[in-house]
Amino acid sequence: MPELPEVETVRRGLEPALVGAHFSEVRLARPNLRFPLPPDFAARLTGRRVEALSRRAKYLIADLSSGEALIMHLGMSGRFDVTLPDGRQVSPGDFYLEGALGQSKHDHVIFGLSNGARVTYNDVRRFGFMDLVSSADLATCRHFAGMGIEPLGNELSGETVARLFAGKRTPLKAALLDQRLIAGLGNIYVCEALHRARLHPEAPAGSLADAAGRPTKAAGRLATVIRDVLTEAVAAGGSTLRDYAHTDGSKGEFQNTFRVYDREGLACTARGCRGVVRRLVQGGRSTFFCETCQPRA
Of 56, 126, 227, 285, the catalytic one is: 285
pLDDT at 242: 40
At residue 252, the pLDDT reads: 44
- The answer, yes or no, to whether residue 177 has pLDDT greater than 70, is yes
Task: Report the pLDDT value the prediction gives residue 93, as an integer from 0 to 100.
Answer: 60
The answer to whether the CB of 283 falls within 8 A of the CB of 174 is yes
- Chain centroid offset of residue 160 CA: 21
Paired sense of beta strands 23-28 and 107-113, if any? antiparallel
Buried (b) or exposed (e) across 278-293, using 16+ Cβ within 10 A? beeeeeeeebbbbebb
> Is residue 285 flagged as an active site residue?
yes
Q: Kindly provide the residue ranges of all beta strands, DSSP E only, lying in the chain, ordered along the sequence.
A: 23-28, 50-56, 59-64, 68-73, 78-83, 89-90, 94-95, 107-113, 118-123, 129-134, 244-245, 277-282, 285-290
Over pLDDT 70: what percentage of the chain?
A: 88
CB atoms within 10 A of CB 2: 28
Give CB contacts under 8 A, 24+ apart, made by 274-280: 280/201, 280/202
Question: How far apart are the C-alpha atoms of 237 and 123, rounded to whole Å?
Answer: 20
At 256, the pLDDT band (50, 70, 90 cuts) reads: low
Q: Can you tell me the distance from the alpha carbon of 277 to that of 266, in angstroms, rounded to the nearest whole number?
A: 6
**Integer Cα distance of 166 and 213 in angstroms:** 6
- More confident position, 253 or 108: 108
**Which tens digits make up the pLDDT trace of 123-168?**
888 899 999 999 999 999 999 999 999 999 889 999 999 999 999 9
For the beta carbon of residue 52, count every other beta carbon within 10 angstroms: 13
pLDDT of residue 244: 40
- Among residues 11, 48, 58, 79, the one annotated as catalytic is 58
Length, in residues, of the chain: 297
More confident residue, 20 or 76: 20
pLDDT given at position 98: 39
User: pTM, whole model, 2 decimals?
Assistant: 0.87
Sign of the alpha-carbon dihedral angle for 117, 51, 38, 177: positive
Task: Please provide the average confidence, as pLDDT, over all residues in the chain.
Answer: 88
8 belongs to the catalytic site: no
215 exposed, middle or buried (CB, 10 Å; 0-12, 13-18, 19+)?
A: buried
Query: Is the pLDDT assigned to residue 246 strictly greater than 60?
Result: no
- Residue-wise pLDDT for 42-52, tens only, equals 999 999 999 99
pLDDT digits (tens, 9 = 90+) for 79-127: 888 888 877 766 566 433 333 344 578 899 999 999 999 999 988 888 9
Task: Please check the confidence at residue 41 and state whether its pLDDT lies above 90.
Answer: yes
Who contacts 242 (Cβ-Cβ below 8 Å, separation ≥6)? 97, 98
Residue 199 has pLDDT above 90, yes or no: yes
> What is the residue-wise DSSP string for 113-173?
ETTS-EEEEEESS---EEEEEEGGGGGGSTTTTT--B-TTSTT-SHHHHHHHHTT--SBHH
50 DSSP assignment: E
Cβ burial, residue 25 (10 Å; 0-12/13-18/19+): middle
Query: Mean pLDDT across the stretch 184-199?
Result: 95
Tell me which of 2, 92, 171, 201 is the catalytic residue.
2
pLDDT digits (tens, 9 = 90+) for 215-236: 999 999 999 999 999 998 888 7
Report the pLDDT value the prediction gives residue 91, as an integer from 0 to 100.
Answer: 56
217 is catalytic: no
